[in-house]
Structure 1
Amino acid sequence: MKQYLISIYQPDGGAPPANIDEIMRELEQLNDEMRAAGAWVFAAGLHAPSTATVLRAKGADVLITDGPYAEGREHIGGFTVIAAADLDEALEWGRRMARIITLPIEVRPLQDG
């Protein structure tokens, strides 16, 4: 089975929705279904982009800067890695997650390593 990254994009700033507890319960139910199906590999939420540290090689030095690599109006707020037979199966898990979270979801295959 191939592995896929399901990224959750959320807008910068803004407060969580009023029904965040319901969303989190439904998301945990989906994670349980993915585990039961053998699809769930790993999931995590991320702190705000302002907590990021970026490292850039410049010649023999490595420059360290605070903040996200790219400024934008959205950032990756969390992700799930799944195992799926093909892209169609991965997209179905992504669709179900998008319906629960109501935020943009990106599904991308991981390179074979």
Structure 2
Amino acid sequence: MPRYLISFEKGSMDHIPEEDFPEVGKASHAVCQEAKDAGVFRFGGGLSYDDGDVEHAVVGTDGLVTDGPYLEGTELIGGFMTVDVPTREEALAWAAKIAAACRCPQDVRKFLHDPDLIE
């Protein structure tokens, strides 16, 4: 079955007042639980950028570590969910639910099929 990445960019939730974040968290967890109950949730979560660690690091083919985005203007992912659903339409329906819960648009991308990597 195809797998899809549903994600949003870092900063996409900056418009939400801080006092609303508990409600947003509860709503997004409810969608994830619904996806788990439906048997389509694979993995997901928000990415931390505010805990004092470097925002982003790139490891080159030579093993050299560079702090910061690889290319200027690179968009960082703020959060994501992966789902295993039979159709693009179903992936878009899950994205609509998580968009409403997180109060921000979601990007939907299909993973390339690789029988050596997908169970």
Tell me the TM-score normalised to structure 1 length.
0.82
How far apart are the structure 1 equivalents of 2:108 and 2:74? Answer: 20
**8 A Cα contact 1:9 1:74, kept in partner:** yes
How far apart are the structure 2 equivalents of 1:15 and 1:30? Answer: 21
1:54 maps to amino acid: V
Moved over 6 A (4+): none
Deviation (angstroms), 1:16: 5.8
| Structure 1 vs Structure 2 CA RMSD | 2.3
How far apart are the structure 2 equivalents of 1:30 and 1:105? Answer: 14
2:48 is the counterpart of 1:47 = yes
2:93 is the counterpart of 1:89 = no
Deviation (angstroms), 1:74: 5.0
How far apart are the structure 2 equivalents of 1:62 and 1:97? Answer: 36
For structure 1, list consecutive stretches of 5 or more residues without a partner in the other structure: none
For structure 2, list consecutive stretches of 5 or more residues without a partner in the other structure: 115-119
Deviation (angstroms), 1:24: 0.5
Tell me the TM-score normalised to structure 2 length.
0.79
How far apart are the structure 1 equivalents of 2:16 and 2:57? Answer: 24
Count residues with an aligned counterpart: 109
More strand by share: 1
2:10 maps to amino acid: Q
How far apart are the structure 2 equivalents of 1:73 and 1:64? Answer: 17
